[in-house]
Structure 1
């Protein structure tokens, strides 16, 4: 059976929490996709049932336990056909791990950069201090330099429940 993996969620560089929601369309041998979340130092594994008769929509999640020893905030989510074939098709998606960007991470909200804004000023208005690092790290896929932001850019502002 040919294998198709069309992952619709998460998208590359999505900002995720300790529960990563996964959805898409797939066919898989015996109807199972394996999941690996890794950053090179540690990994978490799980699986999702997708059905084995033709292309099927699926959704599931993987929990990142507090005991995971991730040291980097950029993780790689890999879904693969769980057929036992090491060379079987797989899809790898980079995601940004909110709990290593902002302690107590509980989600994010969009912010549209205004003329005259700086990351320090945005951090001051959002967090009550000038620590812009969480904003910079949550937007590392669109910001190469914390001193270069432009009016109209939409940034993700990480939020915590602390």
Structure 2
């Protein structure tokens, strides 16, 4: 039976910044997991350490290099136990890259949709203009169309001023 990898942070479709915090549990060869981050056009690789002496938890951070030429805001984060075996287990999750959603991205805040709201109205209220693109991009996992928001839905509002 192959050891498994469980990514607990980030979760699928979390919005991440240039520094991505990763955590979870895994059994890894020599205590190392390879980390691959790609958006389909560019990729970078690094690694994180897994605890030793039976401790299978890991946590670390991966910093997206400035020279990475990502052009799409949806990234794929893969953790793999391939340091001793190229056929080792791996897990891939999609994450959203905040710096490509909103220039100067520093975090996000939740907003609960109210009666009469539109993405344009929310953008005007949050940003002072009608460009709802960052809000739609940050919520692409729950919004099929910018015209289909529902009262009570909690949206992530990307911010550059947090």
Equivalent residue runs for 1:82-93 within 5 Å: 82-93=82-93
CA–CA separation in structure 1 for the residues paired with 2:150 and 2:29? 47
Matched, 1:74 2:74: yes
8 Å CA contact 2:9–2:22 kept in 1: the answer is yes
Q: Distance in 2 between matches of 1:2 and 1:155?
A: 38
Secondary structure at 1:125's aligned position in 2? helix
Aligned partners of 2:82 and 2:89 also within 8 Å: no
The 8 Å contact of residues 76 and 93 in structure 1, kept in 2 or not, is answered as yes
Over the aligned positions, Cα root-mean-square deviation in angstroms equals 1.5
Q: How many angstroms does 1:38 deviate by?
A: 0.4
Describe the SS at the equivalent of 1:120: helix
Q: What is aligned with 1:115? A: 115
TM-score normalised to structure 2 length: 0.95
- More divergent stretch after superposition (47-56 vs 57-66): 47-56
* Structure 2: gaps (5+ residues): none
- The correspondence of residues 129-140 of structure 1 with structure 2, limited to 5 A, is 129-140=129-140
Contact between 2:34 and 2:83, CA under 8 Å: does it hold in 1?
no
Cα distance, 1:17 vs. partner? 0.5
Q: Deviations over 1:85-104 (max 9, x none)?
A: 22210000100001001000
The corresponding residue for 2:21 is: 21
Contact 2:2 2:89 in 1 (8 A): no
- Residue ranges of structure 1 left out of the alignment (5+ in a row): none
Higher strand fraction: Structure 1 or Structure 2? 1
- Where does 1:5-154 land on structure 2 (aligned, <5 Å)? 5-154=5-154
* Alignment: residue pair count: 162
Cα deviation 1:79-122 (Å, max 9, x = unaligned)? 00033322210000100001001000000000000011000000
* TM-score, normalised relative to structure 1: 0.95
Q: CA deviation at 1:15?
A: 0.5
